Copies of this chain bind each other. A is one copy, B any other.
Amino acid sequence: MSSRAMVSSSFSHLGTSHSLLRKTPSPYGLAAPETCLGCQLGNTEFFCKLSESSKKALDLIKHVSSYPERSIIFMEGEEARGVYILCQGRAKLLTTNGEGKTLILKIARPGEVLGLNSLLTNRPHDITVETLQPCQLAFVSRQEFMRYIREHSDACFHVAQHAGRDCHSAYESVRSIGLSSSASEKLARFLVDWSADGKITEGILRVKLALTHEEIAQLIGSSRETVSRTLSEFKRQNLLELNGSTMLLRNKAALQNMAGI
């Protein structure tokens, strides 16, 4: 854990940090819209589908702040002080065991609400969230969030939906990790899933990996070396190519087949 992350982590524990950070409009190279009313996440995200009045009410209680990469937003075991809505950047949701082994449950993208289930069920956080890039997050304290969803029934419904989605994605994780027979199957599945946000240029599917082999291993429940070796094997079989962090998927069908999709 880098000291930078630690600094940011303690930031997030200061009551005044959010208003403080709001006075620095564009830290870490992020544009800082500072409002959800003009949110550009589109209609696909829950909190963008709220009624106008609920949007405005949310706007009044949220505190947007920016974090550098590798910031710990909250940690497993910590009391849940509120929820964080991821506005910009990516963050990993992870859990660790005593021996330092880490499992990444999911890579969160903008629109994701983090720490929701701990707040709803009134428990300490069951996961750790760490930014992968500079991120912008809107914080809403426990008290204000609870009041908000009690007073805005449409928001409450969206919260329930969001929790349902989280649950679904967790089931996907268990299935992938628990029902796979080999590491290549899991890696293939990861690559196919990840390629969803790749782009096709000149007939070739290009995807930004932007994860280390170590992180991929933690995502699929394997070891760094196995990921490295299996990726090499995939290259040898001409299923893909790697140029830096860009991957060219040459034979997605074959990978899907291996993944059992």
Which stretch of A1-9, A51-59, A148-156 is in the interface? A148-156
By DSSP majority rule, is chain A's interface helix, strand, loop, or mixed?
helix
With known contacts A160-B160, A177-B174, A168–B121 Cβ distance under 8 A: yes
- Give the contacting residue for A150; candidates B116, B121, B127, B153; CB below 8 A: B153
- Let me know if A14 is at the binding interface, CB within 8 A: no
A123 to chain B: closest residue by CB? B168
Cα A260 to Cα B177 in complex, Å, equals: 20
Tell me which residues across on chain B come within 8 A of A177, comparing CB atoms.
174, 177-178
With known contacts A120-B160, A123-B168, A157-B150, A221–B97 Cβ distance under 8 A: no
Q: How far is the CB of A74 from chain B (nearest CB, A)?
A: 14
Q: How far is the CB of A158 from chain B (nearest CB, A)?
A: 9
Contact B171 A127 (CB under 8 A): yes
Number of interface residues of A (CB under 8 A): 44
Q: How far is the CB of A57 from chain B (nearest CB, A)?
A: 15
A219 to chain B: closest residue by CB? B178
Contact A116 B164 (CB under 8 A): yes
Cα A153 to Cα B107 in complex, Å, equals: 31
Q: How far is the CB of A22 from chain B (nearest CB, A)?
A: 29
- Let me know if A165 is at the binding interface, CB within 8 A: yes
- Let me know if A117 is at the binding interface, CB within 8 A: yes
Contact B179 A260 (CB under 8 A): no
Q: How far is the CB of A166 from chain B (nearest CB, A)?
A: 5
28 A-B residue pairings within 8 Å (CB atoms): A95-B171, A97-B175, A97-B179, A97-B180, A99-B181, A103-B178, A105-B171, A105-B174, A116-B164, A117-B165, A117-B167, A118-B164, A120-B161, A121-B161, A121-B165, A123-B168, A126-B171, A127-B171, A156-B156, A156-B157, A160-B163, A163-B163, A163-B167, A166-B167, A170-B170, A173-B178, A174-B177, A177-B178
A interface residue numbers (CB < 8 A to B): 95-99, 101, 103, 105, 116-121, 123, 126-127, 149-150, 153, 156-157, 159-161, 163-168, 170-175, 177-181, 221, 260
